[in-house]
């Protein structure tokens, strides 16, 4: 049976048209309940046990491992942000002078600054692959340009599964194959795709995957996840905290200082990873979103957006081809005939929430949305056009 809208799982007022999950997801009601319950538990700290600090974190890792089809949850680290996960990776990468780090044009800043820092440290360079001007074949040409740029000088390729602003899909499997031929690392930012777009860590085999948890995994702000492959198995985390050491569950023996880390990615967990309020909300968010397959989410999002996309194109907006972009997140370019600020004001007045990215509007949807949301968006846009 095709996936149906699930607005009843959220506390979204009927007059609100929220097309901005790519910015910040609303909470499932179950996530809200988990958070409130945990806040109340803090009022009675004598009821908080070792489960909250250790077992719950393990449960969370197992849930995220299922999402990306990781065989070993010990390859998952719970972290507070994408930048944290990337920083741990960067601290364990040594470059040679003249090495190249490949990124794509207008990549999200967190996946640029960290690499610029180590490039400067080692005398390496950042190679930015620009978005092709040929709109008709933009996605294919961009992927071709990335593959051509990978050479014997390439030490690292780092990018998202999709472009965070316009939704164009990158061919990670082909990029992985080419990067491996040149012994280059592949690090993926899955913040705008994991949970909403099919992804199998065994298929892509990245050296690391980092992912914000407050977007398509519906966790609270301040949560993220990282998967680290074998390259990082014996790395040194840039933060030392007691809970990442072997045997840390034995609270009475903490001052018997332990030189060994817990296995694999556990060493990269953030300090206070057992934040039981945050963790309980994360678990509920992932459990709920895991009830919908990413493939079904893509099909559902396409079904509620396809008519609007066709009409937007008819009235002068530019949208990338369906086969080149994600269906849960995509950009629409505002025609020069429309006053962008006037459109922004009109959307706000009608309680339509989107993201503006330069001359583009980024639209993002999920099971909380319906075709009626996009009909409302169209009516608003057309009302502004009649004023020109």
What is the pLDDT, as a whole number, of residue 2? 87
Residue 56, Cβ density class (10 Å: 0-12 exposed, 13-18 middle, ≥19 buried): buried
CA-nearest of 320, 272, 327 to 295 is 327
What is the pLDDT, as a whole number, of residue 387? 61
> Which CATH number does 38-289 carry?
3.40.640.10
CB-based contact 279:285 (threshold 8 Å): no
Task: Confirm whether pTM is higher than 0.75.
Answer: yes
Domain ranges of the chain: 7-27+293-385, 38-289
Is CATH 3.90.1150.10 the classification given to domain 7-27+293-385? yes
Residue 223: both structure tokens together: 């949560």
Other Cβ atoms within 10 Å of 181 Cβ, number = 12
Which stretches of the chain score pLDDT less than 70?
387-388
What is the pLDDT, as a whole number, of residue 388? 52
Residue 42: both structure tokens together: 């803090």
Rounded Cα–Cα distance for residues 323 and 146 (Å):
19
Whether 38-289 and 7-27+293-385 are alike in CATH topology: the answer is no
- CA pseudo-torsion sign 362, 365, 369, 375: positive
CB-based contact 38:276 (threshold 8 Å): yes
CB-based contact 223:27 (threshold 8 Å): no
How does pLDDT run across 84-141, given as a tens digit for each residue? 999 999 999 999 999 999 999 999 999 999 999 999 999 999 999 999 999 889 999 9
Rounded Cα–Cα distance for residues 305 and 144 (Å):
28
How does pLDDT run across 51-64, given as a tens digit for each residue? 788 999 999 999 99
CB-based contact 189:111 (threshold 8 Å): yes
């Amino acid at each position: 049976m095709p996936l149906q809208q699930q607005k009843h799982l959220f506390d979204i007022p009927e007059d609100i048209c929220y097309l901005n999950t790519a910015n910040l997801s609303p909470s499932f009601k179950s996530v809200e309940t988990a958070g409130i319950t945990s806040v109340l538990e803090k009022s009675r700290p004598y009821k908080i046990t070792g489960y909250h600090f250790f077992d719950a974190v393990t449960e969370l890792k197992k849930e995220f491992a299922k999402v990306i089809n990781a065989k070993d949850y010990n390859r998952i680290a719970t972290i507070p942000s994408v930048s944290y996960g990337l920083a741990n990776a960067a601290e364990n990468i040594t470059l040679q002078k003249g090495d190249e780090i490949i990124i794509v044009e207008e990549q999200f800043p967190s996946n640029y600054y960290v690499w610029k820092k180590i490039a400067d440290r080692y005398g390496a360079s950042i190679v930015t692959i620009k978005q092709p001007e040929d709109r008709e074949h933009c996605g294919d040409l961009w992927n071709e340009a990335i593959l051509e740029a990978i050479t014997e000088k390439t030490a690292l390729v780092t990018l998202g599964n999709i472009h965070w602003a316009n939704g164009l899909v990158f061919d990670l499997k082909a990029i992985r194959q080419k990067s491996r031929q040149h012994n280059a690392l592949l690090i993926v930012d899955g913040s705008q795709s994991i949970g909403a777009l099919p992804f199998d860590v065994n298929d892509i085999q990245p050296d690391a995957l980092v992912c914000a948890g407050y977007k398509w995994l519906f966790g609270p702000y301040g949560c993220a996840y990282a998967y680290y492959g074998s390259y990082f198995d014996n790395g040194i985390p840039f933060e030392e905290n007691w809970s990442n050491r072997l045997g840390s569950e034995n609270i009475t023996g903490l001052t018997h200082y332990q030189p060994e880390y817990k296995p694999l990615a556990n060493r990269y967990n953030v300090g206070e990873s057992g934040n039981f309020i945050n963790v309980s909300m994360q678990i509920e968010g992932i459990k709920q979103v895991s009830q919908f397959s990413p493939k079904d989410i893509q099909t559902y999002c396409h079904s509620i957006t396809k008519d609007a996309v066709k009409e937007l194109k008819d009235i002068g907006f530019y949208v990338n081809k369906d086969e080149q972009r994600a269906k849960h997140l995509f950009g629409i370019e505002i025609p020069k005939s429309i006053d962008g600020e006037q459109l922004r004001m009109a959307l706000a007045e009608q309680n339509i929430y989107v993201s503006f990215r330069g001359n583009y509007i980024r639209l993002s949807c999920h099971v909380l949305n319906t075709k009626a949301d996009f009909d409302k968006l169209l009516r608003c846009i057309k009302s502004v056009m009649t004023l020109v």
